[in-house]
Copies of this chain bind each other. A is one copy, B any other.
Amino acid sequence: MYIKTIAWFAIACASAWGQPAGDSKPASTNVMGAQYPRVHPDLRATFQLKAPEAKLVQVRLGQTYDMVRADDGVWTVTIPPQVPGFHYYSLVVDSVAVNDPGSEAFYGTSRQSSGIEIPEKDADYYEVQAVPHGEVRQIRYFSKVTGAWRRAFVYTPPGYDLNPKLRYPVLYLQHGGGEDERGWTVQGRADIILDNLIDRKQAVPMLIVMDKGYAVMAGEKPYVRAPGEPFDMRRLSSLPAFEKVVVDDLIPAIDARYRTLPDRDHRAMAGLSMGGGQTFEIVLHNLDKFAYVGGFSGVPGGNGGPVINTKTDFNGVLADAQAFNKRMKLVWIGTGTAEPAPMYKGMQGFREAITNAGIRHIYIESEGTSHEWLTWRRALHDFAPRLFKEAK
C-alpha cells in the first residue's frame, strides 16, 4: 500500500542540492537534504547557489567573498578555514543580502539569518549525547507591565516530571541585541549544554528561563527604527520596561507555575551582549531577588557607553565592596579574545572598574572566538556549574 501514499504537494526550490565536493560534509545547520553549504576537514567551507541571471553572487561571513559562476548558472566558492562554532552568514545576490536556501534560519541580526556550524574538535558538551534530556517548554504569560501576552521558553531538567516534590533553582538567561527568546536554545544549545552538565554532575539540576529582552510599557509606542538607520541600542534594550517585566510579571509567573525555590539564593541571571548589560542593570537594582549574576560579552558600558562609576551607579550598591561581596555569591564576566576592539575594551573597562572597587568576580576569556555563539556556549558551560552549589 505504501505505493499509494506517494504524491503530495512539495515545492522544489532552485537551490543547494548539487554534487558533493571531496571529503567535505553538509553543515549540521543545513535544512534536511541540503548538500550545501559543506564543511571540509580543514574547516574550509563551500557555498553554492543557482542564480543564472545574477551579475554577482557573494558569501558574507565576516568578510565578503565573491562566488564564481559556472556555465549552468551555479555560483560556488570555497572560503578559508573558519573558527569553530556557529556563525551567521548571508549570500549576497546583486548587492541584496539574502538567506541561503540550504541553511536553517536563525533569528539574529534582527532578521531570520542563515547560519553555519563549524565543528569544534573534542568539544562534545553542546552535542546531543546518550544522556537523559530535559524539555524546552514554550509558555505564554500575561504581562501587566506591557498589557500583552508574552512568550518565553523554560528549560526543565531531566526528571522534572518524575520528582513532583523536588523544587529547583532558576537561571534567567538573556539573548543579545537583534536576537530573541529562541536564541539560547536554537543557536546557543543551552538545553543540550545543561543536559550534559547535569548528567556529568557538573551542574545541579535547574530551570532556565529565556524571555524576549524587549518590552514596551502599556500605552507607549513600540520602538521602530527609522528607515536605513542602525538600531538605537538604548531603545532596543528596553530598559526600564524590560526590568519591570522581569520583576513584576515574569518571576511571579515562573514561581507560580513551576516548582522553584523562590528566593534570591536560588535565583541567577545572566545574558549575552545586550542581554549582559540588561542583566547587570536588573540584578544590581534588585539584589533582594538575585544572588548570582553573569555578563557574557556584555556589561554596562560594555561597548561604547561610559565606564561605570562604582561609587554612585546602581544606587551605590557597589560602593561598599565588602558588603556587596558578602551578599552576592557570584559575579561572572567573560569575553572572546577575538572580539572587535570596542567590545573587548568595553569589557576591560568594566572589569577594571569592579576590580579597583574590590568587587570579587570571575573573569574568563574564550580563546580565539569573537562576539558570537561559541563564546557564549563556553561562557554558559563555565558559568552554570558555579551556580547553586552551596545552596543544595
Which residues in A have some Cβ–Cβ distance to B below 8 Å? 1-15, 17-19, 31-35, 49-56, 88, 93-99, 101-105, 107, 109-112, 128, 130, 133, 135-140, 142, 149, 161, 164, 176-178, 180, 185, 191, 214, 222-231, 233-234, 236-237, 239-240, 257-258, 273-274, 276-278, 280-281, 298, 300-306, 308, 313-314, 340, 342-343, 371
Contacts and interface: CB of A to CB of B under 8 A. Distances in A.
Most B CB contacts (10 A, CB to CB) among A135, A240, A280 go to A135
A283 to B, nearest CB: 12
Contacts of A34: 111
Nearest to A371: B9
A227 B228 CA distance: 38
Given A8-B176, A8-B302, A257-B161, A94 B138 contact: no
Given A3-B305, A101-B112, 8 more contacts: A5-B300, A8-B273, A10-B177, A10-B178, A11-B178, A53-B96, A105-B107, A130-B149
Given A135-B139, A142-B130, A303 B2 contact: no
Given A17-B224, A19-B227, A301-B4, A10 B109 contact: yes
Nearest to A191: B138
A237 B91 CA distance: 31
A241 to B, nearest CB: 10
B1 A233 contact: no
A33 to B, nearest CB: 6
B33 A223 contact: yes
Given A13-B111, A234-B5, A98 B99 contact: yes
Contacts of A14: 96-97
Contacts of A101: 97-98, 111-112
A31 B110 contact: yes
A240 B2 contact: yes
11 contacts: A5-B301, A8-B274, A8-B343, A9-B176, A10-B178, A15-B111, A17-B228, A52-B95, A53-B94, A99-B105, A135-B138
Contacts of A223: 33
Given A6-B234, A8-B177, A112 B112 contact: yes
A149 B177 CA distance: 32
Given A109-B13, A112-B105, A306 B97 contact: no
Contact of A233 (B7, B32, B136): B7
A13 B96 CA distance: 10
Given A9-B176, A136-B138, A308-B4, A95 B300 contact: no
Contacts of A112: 31, 99, 101, 103-105, 112
Given A136-B138, A138-B135, A149-B128, A4 B306 contact: yes
A313 B97 contact: no
A180 B32 contact: yes
